[in-house]
């Protein structure tokens, strides 16, 4: 129906222009002048003088001028038709765009929206709508986790702080404390102070992770040396839980990476393995080279993590310990940050938990010389 209306409108407009032009020429007598000019352009007349003094004239058509006129006329008609067609097309395109925009707005505003009527467009809109709803749900969950976590951390800050203040006041007010008692109270105060430091670091992690992207400053480093330095720092925690580390892999392996960020990944994975590892067990560290990539894994014995939790373990603010207390868990950012760092290095990271063994493994690209 729309196409027929456009053709009719074009035809009526053209007819009206022709009729108006005709009356304009007739009333102003311009048509005689135009006809004379046309006649003089296309018709030629030559006077011929024959012997004996006889004159006669020869009239003929100037075909080169006729051809030139036809060419110019065709170009002019084509130009006019193109302009009119473009104006009609733009008008209809604007109308269709407005209708489509209205249909899209209604589709997103109304859960039972009918769509645009075009199967391909409706399929794409449905994908976009599903994506938006999924992202909104993830954002709501993350926002709620953030609020809950900040509330828990703020609440848990009070307990160690109260202990620190209490024991310090006790040592100041009590003049007859033995050296053993002083050492005991100082040990407790130090433990609570370290707990306070961990909670404050959790707050900083939340701020850093939400306000900035991870920046990499790459340089050549020895992965094995970095790993040994970090494992030495964890010796007190390992001794406390009677855990042992076993390393299997090369004595040296160089790559180009951000030293501090990679140390942060290893620190988070080691801390996670120690926290959830069974007392008096072995934590396995495995390093290999496969297809020009570094492959590192860390395994600990402990409770098997359900697959549902494994699928969510790298999400921000997700904690395996869902209890309100943050005594044994952090902000739930360690593994999420580790994933972002590995992805920024163009690597991969994943986790598997089966038969009481939980393994985290990641890959990093290597130099060609290490392949």
Q: Read out DSSP for 156-180?
A: HHHHHHHHHHHHHHHHHH-SS--HH
Let me know: does 351 contact 358? Beta carbons within 8 Å.
Answer: yes
Let me know: does 328 contact 335? Beta carbons within 8 Å.
Answer: no
Q: How far apart are CA 81 and CA 51, in angstroms?
A: 56
Mention every residue, 6+ apart, whose C-beta is less than 8 A from residue 236.
Answer: none
Q: Where in the chain is the domain with CATH 1.10.287.130?
A: 120-210
The verdict on domain 120-210 having CATH code 1.10.260.40 is: no
- Measured CA to CA in angstroms, residue 33 lies from 24, 39, 46, 66, 273 at distances of 13, 10, 22, 18, 102
Mention every residue, 6+ apart, whose C-beta is less than 8 A from residue 368.
Answer: 292
Name which of 294, 207, 202 is nearest 255 in CA terms.
Answer: 294
**Sign of torsion over alpha carbons 10, 15, 16, 18:** positive
- Measured CA to CA in angstroms, residue 25 lies from 18, 30, 70, 77, 370 at distances of 11, 5, 21, 20, 90
Q: Where in the chain is the domain with CATH 3.30.565.10?
A: 219-365
Q: How far apart are CA 46 and CA 60, in angstroms?
A: 9
* pLDDT attached to residue 51: 57
Let me know: does 244 contact 238? Beta carbons within 8 Å.
Answer: yes
Q: Which CATH architecture has domain 219-365?
A: 2-Layer Sandwich (3.30)
Let me know: does 345 contact 258? Beta carbons within 8 Å.
Answer: yes
* pLDDT attached to residue 232: 87
| H helices present in 174-258, as ranges | 179-211, 223-233, 235-240
Let me know: does 310 contact 352? Beta carbons within 8 Å.
Answer: yes
Q: Is 194 exposed, middle or buried (0-12, 13-18, 19+ CB in 10 A)?
A: exposed
Q: How far apart are CA 40 and CA 7, in angstroms?
A: 38
Q: How far apart are CA 28 and CA 339, in angstroms?
A: 85
Tokens found for residue 3: 């196409």
- pTM of the full structure: 0.52
Q: How many CB atoms lie within 10 A of CB 356?
A: 12
Tokens found for residue 330: 């952090």
Q: How far apart are CA 264 and CA 159, in angstroms?
A: 28
Name which of 59, 58, 34 is nearest 48 in CA terms.
Answer: 58
Let me know: does 257 contact 218? Beta carbons within 8 Å.
Answer: yes
Let me know: does 109 contact 132? Beta carbons within 8 Å.
Answer: no
Tokens found for residue 267: 């620190």
Helix (H) or strand (E) holding 362: strand 357-365
* pLDDT by position in tens, the chain (length 371): 455 676 677 778 878 888 877 777 666 666 667 767 776 777 776 666 665 555 666 676 777 777 887 888 889 889 999 998 888 888 888 887 887 777 777 776 665 656 666 667 777 777 887 888 888 887 887 777 667 667 766 666 777 788 888 888 888 888 888 888 888 888 888 888 887 877 777 666 666 665 456 778 899 999 999 999 988 888 888 888 899 999 999 999 999 999 988 998 998 899 889 988 898 899 999 999 988 899 999 999 988 888 888 888 887 666 655 443 444 455 566 788 888 889 989 999 999 999 899 999 999 998 644 44
Let me know: does 81 contact 17? Beta carbons within 8 Å.
Answer: no
Residue 192 region by backbone torsions, left for phi larger than 0, else alpha for psi between -120 and 50, else beta:
alpha
- Measured CA to CA in angstroms, residue 182 lies from 172, 179, 188, 272, 301 at distances of 10, 5, 10, 33, 38
Q: On the CB side of 234, how many CA atoms lie within 13 Å of its CA?
A: 24
Q: How far apart are CA 228 and CA 285, in angstroms?
A: 11
């Amino acid at each position: 129906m729309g196409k027929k209306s456009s053709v009719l409108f074009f035809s009526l407009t053209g007819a009206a222009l022709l009729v108006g032009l005709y009356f304009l020429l007739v009333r102003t007598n311009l048509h005689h002048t135009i006809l004379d000019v046309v006649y003089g352009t296309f018709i030629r007349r030559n006077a011929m003088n024959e012997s004996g003094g006889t004159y006669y004239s020869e009239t003929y058509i100037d075909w080169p001028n006729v051809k030139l006129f036809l060419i110019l006329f065709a170009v002019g008609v084509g130009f006019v038709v193109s302009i009119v067609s473009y104006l009609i097309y733009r008008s209809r395109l604007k109308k269709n765009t407005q209708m489509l925009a209205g249909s899209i707005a209604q589709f997103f505003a109304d859960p039972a929206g009918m769509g645009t009527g075009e199967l391909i467009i409706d399929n794409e809109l449905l994908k976009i709508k599903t994506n938006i709803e999924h992202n909104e749900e993830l954002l709501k969950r993350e926002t709620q986790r953030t609020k809950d976590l900040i509330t828990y951390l703020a609440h848990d800050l009070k307990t160690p702080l109260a202990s620190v203040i209490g024991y310090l006041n006790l040592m100041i007010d009590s003049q007859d404390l033995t050296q053993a008692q002083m050492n005991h109270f100082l040990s407790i105060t130090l433990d609570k102070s370290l707990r306070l430091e961990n909670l404050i670091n959790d707050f900083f992690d939340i701020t850093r992770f939400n306000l900035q992207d991870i920046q990499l400053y790459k340089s050549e480093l020895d992965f094995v040396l970095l790993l040994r330095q970090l494992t030495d720092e964890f010796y007190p925690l390992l001794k406390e839980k009677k855990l042992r580390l076993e390393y299997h892999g090369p004595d040296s392996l160089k790559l180009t990476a951000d030293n501090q960020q990679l140390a942060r990944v290893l620190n988070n994975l080691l801390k996670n393995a120690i926290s959830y590892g069974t007392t008096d067990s072995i934590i396995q560290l495995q390093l290999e080279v496969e297809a020009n990539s570094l492959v590192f894994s860390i395994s600990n014995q402990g409770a098997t993590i359900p697959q549902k939790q494994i699928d969510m373990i790298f999400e921000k603010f997700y904690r395996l310990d869902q209890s309100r207390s943050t005594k044994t868990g952090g902000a739930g950012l360690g593994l999420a940050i580790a994933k972002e760092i590995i992805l920024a290095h163009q690597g991969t990271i994943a986790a598997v938990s089966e038969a009481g063994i939980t393994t985290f493994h990641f890959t990093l690209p290597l130099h060609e010389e290490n392949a």
